C-alpha cells in the first residue's frame, strides 16, 4: 500500500446493515489490515488497493449462533464440519455447537477449512462420551482433559 492509499480494500455500493452503530443504508466500507476502518457514503477509490463492487448485496457484521447442533448431524468423518461450513455460508462467524465431540469437530474443520469461530459443549453421557454406566472419577477426568486438547 502506498502512502496515498488508506485502505487495502473497499467494498463499494453495498447496503450496509449494522444495528450496533445505527447504520442501515448504501455505503462504502474501507478495510485496512483485515479490519473495518471506515464506513462512508463515497470513499475515494484512489485510496484503495482493491475495490470490490457489492452493489445489490447486503454487507453486515457476522452473526453469532449461541445454540447450534451441527457437528453430529453430519457425523461421518468425511463430512464432520459440513454443518459449520453451512453456518459460514449463511453469515454466521461464531457458533456454540451443542452437538459434537470437540476433537472430531476440530479435525473436521481443519480438513474442510470451515473458517468459523466455534465452541462446543459436550455432555458426559454413559456409553456415548463415557464408556461406563458408573465411571470412576479418573475416567471422567480423562474425558474432560481430552476435550481441552
Kindly report the pTM of this predicted structure.
0.63
- Residue the block writes with cell 449462533: 65
CA geometry: angle 13, 19, 22, nearest 5 deg: 75
Domain ranges for the chain:
7-59, 63-147
Q: For the domain with range 7-59, which CATH number is right: 2.30.40.10, 3.20.20.70, 1.20.1580.10, 3.20.20.80?
A: 2.30.40.10
Q: How far is CA 55 from the centre of its chain?
A: 24
Under 8 Å between Cβ of 52 and 43: no
- Which of 45, 49, 40, 55 is closest to 9 using CA atoms? 49
Tell me which CATH code domain 63-147 carries: 3.30.110
d(CA 73, CA 106): 15
Q: Over its length of 149 residues, how does the chain's per-residue pLDDT go in tens digits?
A: 444 579 999 999 999 999 999 999 999 999 999 999 999 999 999 999 999 999 999 999 999 999 988 776 555 555 666 778 888 888 899 999 886 667 777 777 777 776 788 888 777 777 777 777 778 888 888 877 876 76
37: helix, coil or strand? strand
Amino acid at each position: 500500500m502506498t502512502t496515498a492509499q488508506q485502505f487495502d480494500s473497499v467494498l463499494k455500493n453495498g447496503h450496509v446493515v449494522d444495528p450496533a452503530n445505527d447504520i442501515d443504508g448504501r455505503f462504502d466500507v474501507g478495510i485496512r489490515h483485515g479490519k473495518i476502518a471506515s464506513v462512508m457514503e463515497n470513499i475515494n477509490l484512489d485510496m484503495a488497493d482493491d475495490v470490490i463492487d457489492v452493489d445489490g448485496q447486503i454487507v453486515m457484521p457476522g452473526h453469532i449462533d449461541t445454540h447450534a447442533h451441527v457437528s453430529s448431524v453430519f457425523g461421518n468423518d468425511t463430512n464432520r464440519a459440513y454443518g459449520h461450513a453451512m453456518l459460514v455460508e449463511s453469515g454466521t462467524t461464531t457458533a456454540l455447537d451443542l452437538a459434537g465431540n470437540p476433537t472430531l469437530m476440530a479435525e473436521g474443520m481443519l480438513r474442510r477449512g470451515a473458517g468459523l469461530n466455534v465452541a462446543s459443549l459436550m455432555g458426559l453421557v454413559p456409553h456415548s462420551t463415557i464408556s461406563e454406566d458408573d465411571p470412576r472419577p479418573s475416567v471422567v477426568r480423562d474425558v474432560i482433559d481430552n476435550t481441552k486438547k
